[in-house]
Amino acid sequence: MSCNVVSAQEVPPKKCAYDRARLLALDENQFDQDMSGGWRQLSSIPGCARVAADVLHDYREAHHIESGLLFWHEAQVRAQDGQYLEAIALMKRAYKTPEEDKAGWNLYVDATIAFLSRDKAALGQLKSKLTAVPPPLGADIPPVVNGYMELDFADGSKKKIRWPINIEVVEGLENCFDQPYAEAYSDVCRENKH
């Protein structure tokens, strides 16, 4: 799969222009996690998903990174652009080892692949399995209370997240199964109980 080759008919819009050298020079955290910089800024511009996905691909190649998270983010952006087969192939490279997967990540990956593969029965089964993932235990891990964990962030803020992590995304995929991934992944579908 050649992700960074653009045909004459697929020339990216001018609004998708970016400083390639600057992006590729960022460290992985800046490139991947900075919500107003890195690839995310480009991805947030309507019509620039494919360009952002290509930047993720180019970054991985330039730095020889086999990061499951970068594979996952590229897959998500490709899925948002309707490139389901390419997204599925990338998602299969984002699995964690059983020792690393304490929060049902692999079930989330499989549920997303089931959605993209248009397998509603598998999606429902995987959602049930994800719902049954027990919360992790440990002195440094906050308890799950009424289905939520309260996390403390370095800036002093707190945020409640549902347990298991990503269950609301899978619910959204199920709620809006007949919609494209870009819509089914949205907050509207996570809140919409069809």
CA–CA dist 93, 147 (Å, integer) = 30
pTM: 0.87
Name the amino acid, one letter, at 181. Y
| Paired tokens of 100 | 């690393």
Q: Is 150 helix (H, G, I), strand (E, B) or coil?
A: strand
pLDDT at 30 over 80: yes
Taking only the tens place, the pLDDT of each residue in 82-106 is: 999 999 999 999 999 999 998 999 9
Specify the DSSP class assigned to residue 118.
T
Percent of the chain with pLDDT over 90: 76
Model confidence at 47, in pLDDT bands (50, 70, 90)?
very high
Cis status, amide bond into 136, omega within 30 of 0: no
Q: From CA 76, how far away is CA 95, in angstroms rounded?
A: 14
Beta strands across the sheet bearing 158-162: 144-145, 148-152, 158-162
List, for residues 110-146, the tens digit of each pLDDT value. Answer: 999 999 999 999 999 999 999 999 998 887 888 898 9
Task: Return phi, psi of residue 150, to 5°.
Answer: -105, 120
The pLDDT assigned to 139 comes to 78
Q: What is the mean pLDDT of the chain?
A: 91
